[in-house]
Amino acid sequence: MEVSKIISDFEHISLAQMDGVKLMNRTDTKYTFSYSKLNLLLKKMQPFYKILEINNQLIHSYKSLYYDTEDRKFYLDHHNNRVNRNKVRFREYVGSNLTFLEIKLKNNKGRTIKKRMKVDSIVKQLSAEHKQYINKVVGSEINLLAQQKINFDRITFVHKKNKERLTIDLDLTFQNDLNKGDLKKIVIAEVKQERMSRSSDFIRIAKELSILPMRLSKYCMSTLELNPKIKSNRFKKKQLYINKIKRT
């Protein structure tokens, strides 16, 4: 059975109804697994979650352009497991017809804090206003360049009772000026909670299906694929896992 058919059976929720679970300051638990496990996972989730519907669509396209310094400070901060690290991107929420300049901070308490400003469109060259906003949020002046595009489709769920959102990302593609690639056999799921709670129904169901938590940064893994010579020793285990799924 196709994913689109399975998710159509979920109870729907609108974007306006989701206002109470934006969770811009949150804890995240990420999962990376084979597309072959998705159908059964979704069927087991149905009693506990509602699905976001925007303009009669349940699967939503996201287009992103990520920025970093010339020497890849943001990538290397993540690779070296530094706390208080940032990511900077433009993101277009295609179904909602909205675009934001977004800065994500992973702080030393393990929380993800996202700040953003609405913009007209994704642009390759940062304006003075963009730079001022980034410098203010990051806390220092930083010179950033557009590095790579990352596009994917997302299905968003909200728990029926708990303050919890869940995103499931599919059909990930990426490219820079020289190379391109994809992780189309990979599913990336993320449980977003106000406070970490293992009582999440998704976490329970994932465990039943032998899907274990594994953090995966779309930006870092696409950077590796597009720049094979970049420092990568801390990500080797994740690369091996992804390559194993891609071969199945």
pLDDT tens-digit readout, 218-248: 999 999 999 989 999 999 999 999 989 888 7
Q: How far is CA 85 from each of CA 55, 71, 241, rounded to the nearest angstrom? A: 35, 15, 25
Closest among 73, 64, 69, 75 to 119, alpha carbons compared: 64
Beta-bridge partners for 67: 88, 146
Domain coordinates in residue numbering, the chain: 3-247
Q: What CATH number should be reported for the domain whose range is 3-247?
A: 2.40.320.10
More confident call, 116 vs 1: 116
Angle 97-99-104 (CA atoms, 0-180°, nearest 5)?
A: 140
Q: How far is CA 60 from each of CA 105, 132, 152, 160, 184, rounded to the nearest angstrom? A: 24, 30, 8, 21, 16
pLDDT for the residue numbered 21: 58
102 pLDDT band (50/70/90 cuts)? very high
Q: What's the CA gap between 1 and 109, in Å, rounded?
A: 41
Whole-prediction pTM value?
0.90
pLDDT of 134 over the 60 cut: yes
pLDDT for the residue numbered 107: 84
pLDDT for the residue numbered 20: 59
pLDDT for the residue numbered 109: 77
